A and B are shown apart, each in its own frame.
Chain A
């Protein structure tokens, strides 16, 4: 599959070791990487670690990046998702099998991440979704990936993605909009 990738030239320059290209790439991608990791993990420090690890993989792979397969941005999202899943799995294993597949937001980290009560409600509602629905919504709504890109990052069909999105959004609507109506 050949794709038109707006990041191709920048990645080539990064692969050649151009410091200016590296700074540009970090400026463009770090906010996206950190946002996804933060929303996946609900832990600022862990999300920053993931962001650093993700960029180490970028530096390692930029020189051998082959344009025309997947978009760089999609690949980067896959890397971040996998790093976050690894951490969540380790967290689950360390905490015991009874722990749900999402961490409870830590109050101190949460205070830094979420400005308003409404945001906290949304974060909690999304954290309570099944993992795949949560990932689909994070990629499409918050990371602004297209359906094709998100399906590629999650390694599922576009139909499966749309189904995950629709189920996730339906749950969120029921939960958040009923809260909105609460006195």
Chain B
């Protein structure tokens, strides 16, 4: 069984947090509810509730839609933009084409320059004996 909260502490909490025990610190709520059954405690709560209700008279309007839109308009746009994605794809395909061309050029140059070591004539290349093919 929950031990009741001492009346002086009950009074302090009602003075601070008001007449709704759900707003009081979680650790004391159960004990406070037990104490609240006492007539003196019930009167303390009723008095605190009276002030709560008075304070609740100060109501404000909901935020206008234009403010919500303005707040969202200043949010960062981190979603990948389609234009950026397309540009990135083009960039990478450009890199691929350039690399392919560079490789092909280097290969042709190497093949053309490096003839077989035992080439019988200047007409013999890695692609074969050009002179013999021509004759």
Chain A: residues with CB nearer than 8 A to chain B? 16-17, 19, 22-23, 26-27, 30-31, 34-35, 38-39, 48, 51-52, 55-56, 59, 112-116, 118-119, 121-123, 126, 137, 140-142, 144, 146-148, 158, 161-163, 165-166, 169-170, 172-173, 176-177, 180
Residues of A within 8 A of B15 (CB): 165-166, 169-170
The yes or no answer to B58 lying at the interface (CB within 8 A) is: yes
**A30-B71, A39-B60, A146-B23 given. 17 additional CB < 8 A pairs?**
A22-B75, A26-B71, A27-B68, A30-B63, A35-B60, A39-B58, A52-B71, A52-B74, A119-B59, A137-B55, A140-B16, A140-B17, A141-B18, A166-B16, A169-B18, A170-B15, A172-B55
Residues of A within 8 A of B54 (CB): 118, 122, 172, 176-177, 180
Closest A residue to B71 by beta carbon equals: A55
Number of residue pairs spanning A and B whose beta carbons lie under 8 angstroms apart = 110
User: How long is the Cα–Cα vector from A17 to B72 in the complex, in angstroms?
Assistant: 12
Residues of A within 8 A of B51 (CB): 169, 172-173, 176-177
Residues of A within 8 A of B78 (CB): 16-17
User: How long is the Cα–Cα vector from A51 to B72 in the complex, in angstroms?
Assistant: 11
Interface SS of chain A: helix
Kindly provide the distance from the CB of A150 to the nearest chain B CB, expressed in whole angstroms: 10
A113-B68 in contact (CB<8A): no
Closest B residue to A179 by beta carbon equals: B54
Question: Given A56-B74, A119-B58, A173-B51, is A26 in contact with B68 using a C-beta cutoff of 8 Å?
Answer: yes
Question: Given A146-B25, A176-B51, is A119 in contact with B57 using a C-beta cutoff of 8 Å?
Answer: yes
A148-B58 in contact (CB<8A): no
The yes or no answer to B76 lying at the interface (CB within 8 A) is: yes
Kindly provide the distance from the CB of B66 to the nearest chain A CB, expressed in whole angstroms: 9
Question: Given A141-B52, A146-B25, A169-B18, is A115 in contact with B59 using a C-beta cutoff of 8 Å?
Answer: yes
B76-A59 in contact (CB<8A): yes
Question: Given A17-B79, A147-B17, A166-B16, is A30 in contact with B67 using a C-beta cutoff of 8 Å?
Answer: yes
